[in-house]
Amino acid sequence: MAQNIKQLQHAPIGVFDSGVGGLTVAREIMRQMPNEKIVYFGDTARLPYGSKSKDTITRYSRQIVRFLETQDVKAIVVACNTASAYALDSLEKEIQMPIIGVVKPGAKVAAEVTQNGKIGVIGTEGTIGSQIYTEYIHNINPDARVIGKACPLFCPLVEEGLWQDPVTDEIASRYLTELIDIGIDTLILGCTHYPLIRSTVGRIMGDKVTLVNPAYETAIELKRLLAEHDLLNPQAPALGDNKYKFYVSDGADKFKTFANSIIKYGILSAKTINIEEY
């Protein structure tokens, strides 16, 4: 049994997303847990997830989990707000290993830090429509007022690299004015793309609004969960060991270029697989 635990401690963490947004979660895991290995899958052939149905998202997520299981991962992070909202409950019942999404950790922090009880959530149409953040926040703070705002143009702007651009400023101002007028004091960046435009969102919202980054909160929660199951890797992988592996369902070269602009640990390659086989 001790040998089995030791093997599991050295196993990688599986992280998946609809595309590149989940790299912000992977980056936080790398920062918080430098000893851990990661297998990342981005479903670039089938994005965006935000506009698809619950059944479709759940089917996609099951396929990805089956792929990650072939990589002998010890835990799975659903690094996609839409998949966390639609598929996580089903996945939790179907697999034995620890699995977490990005919604609960962000909702928990927002519910705890708000002073006036007005919490904004920005995300994809799927995430906002699911009301998942509202549900989790009300479990902790029933009196909170949660205002969701779908911001569908943020993802393509981020993926085009327009993080600091007048176009992004203009779109952000249009999206966020309603939340400013309502007087929220806490804003959840409810899509894993959004931390990349955090400075723009923060500037528009102003100093009195606390921004909650679920990518960071998820990495902290994952560390706690792994420690609870005695699964933290006690030592760094050996020199030359392939610490981080990246897989996509399409466009490996484009993914690699984008990933290297986010993660400064050197992404040597990204491999394309046929996720429909799983």
Name the residue with higher pLDDT: 80 or 1: 80
**Looking at the structure, do residues 138 and 240 belong to the same domain, yes or no?**
no
Q: What is the per-residue pLDDT for 238?
A: 77
Q: Which of 203, 145, 141 is CA-nearest to residue 172?
A: 203
Are 67 and 140 in the same domain? no
The CATH number for 32's domain is: 3.40.50.1860
Binding site per annotation, positions for substrate? 17-18, 49-50, 81-82, 192-193
The encoded tokens of residue 215 equal: 């990518």
Residues in the annotated binding site: 17-18, 49-50, 81-82, 192-193
pLDDT-based confidence at residue 1 (cuts at 50, 70, 90): very low
> Which of 216, 215, 206 has the alpha carbon at shortest distance from 181?
206
Is 269 a residue whose pLDDT tops 90? no
Based on the domain organization, do 116 and 247 belong to the same domain? no
Dist CA 49 CA 171 (whole Å):
21
Residue indicated by tokens 């790398």: 30
User: Are both 49 and 180 inside the same structural domain?
Assistant: no
- Does 132 lie in the same domain as 50? no
Question: Which among 168, 194, 214 is the end of a domain?
Answer: 214
- Mind listing the pLDDT tens digit for each residue in 88-131? 999 999 999 999 999 999 999 999 999 999 999 999 998 999 99
Last residue of a domain, one of 166, 184, 214: 214
List pLDDT tens digits, range 170-210. 999 999 999 999 999 999 999 999 999 999 999 999 999 99
91 within 8 A of 78, measured Cβ to Cβ? yes
Q: What is the pLDDT of residue 159?
A: 87
**Do 224 and 203 share a domain, yes or no?**
no
Range of the domain at 122: 104-214
Based on the domain organization, do 140 and 167 belong to the same domain? Answer: yes
- Strand order in 145-150's β-sheet? 145-150, 118-123, 186-189, 210-212
Convert the pLDDT of each residue in 4-50 to its tens digit: 777 899 999 999 999 999 999 999 999 999 999 999 999 999 988 98
- pLDDT at residue 2 greater than cutoff 50: no
Residue numbers annotated as active site: 80, 191
Residue 272 is which amino acid? T
Domain count, the chain: 2
